[in-house]
Structure 1
């Protein structure tokens, strides 16, 4: 699965979720958004699971790579 990477650590918090939603919407089916964040994006997972029909919640993964660096994969069906 090809992945598009989006690092939101330098984006103001109020603009992060809209930016992530826009980047995800631009993906084709079968692609993933690799999200780099400064905290565990668990609330974003719940938001996507509830609101985004083509989000593949079963394929979601998150990994903490270091202090202040969480990388999540949001796959699109």
Structure 2
């Protein structure tokens, strides 16, 4: 339902975007994400591709842990 998407805009969200993502262009991913979550944090990571969980696993875990702690 269309109201469901509007409700999402007020929810906490963060995007981790790698600058070497050749699957989804980072600029497009960020633009689309900001359309859904206009107040969300965008974290740009250098030398990281589409699978950031493989490229920077420890850093990603720390980012997720921080996000969860900040948004109980």
More strand by share: 1
Per the normalisation by structure 1, the TM-score is: 0.33
With normalisation by structure 2, the TM-score equals 0.34
